[in-house]
Amino acid sequence: MKVAEIKKAAEKISKQYGMPAPIVEKANGNPDGKSGYDGVQIRSELTMEEGGVELSAAIAKINPAYVCEPQGGCVYFVYKP
């Protein structure tokens, strides 16, 4: 996982929308809460309508194999299946 690049992209998009810097950290587990995937959790103020779509597109540019899924609210989980 390219955590530094994911963090940089999330910070850039948050700044564009005037939101505070997101918290980006490595996490174990997949979106269903089961273990098995290493991933990155992004906790931000970005909703899907305000920056979330751009965040997903930016992560796909980092690595097309990465999946960025919204977890509800302003939390996103990035993993490689």
- Per-residue model confidence as pLDDT tens for the chain (81 residues): 789 999 999 999 999 999 999 999 987 655 555 555 678 999 999 999 999 999 999 999 999 999 999 988 899 999 988
Count structural domains, the chain.
1
Q: What is the pLDDT of residue 70?
A: 92
DSSP string of 17-68?
TTPPPPEEEEEES-TTS-SS-EEEEEE-S-BTTTBHHHHHHHHHHH-TT-EE
Range of the domain at 29: 3-79
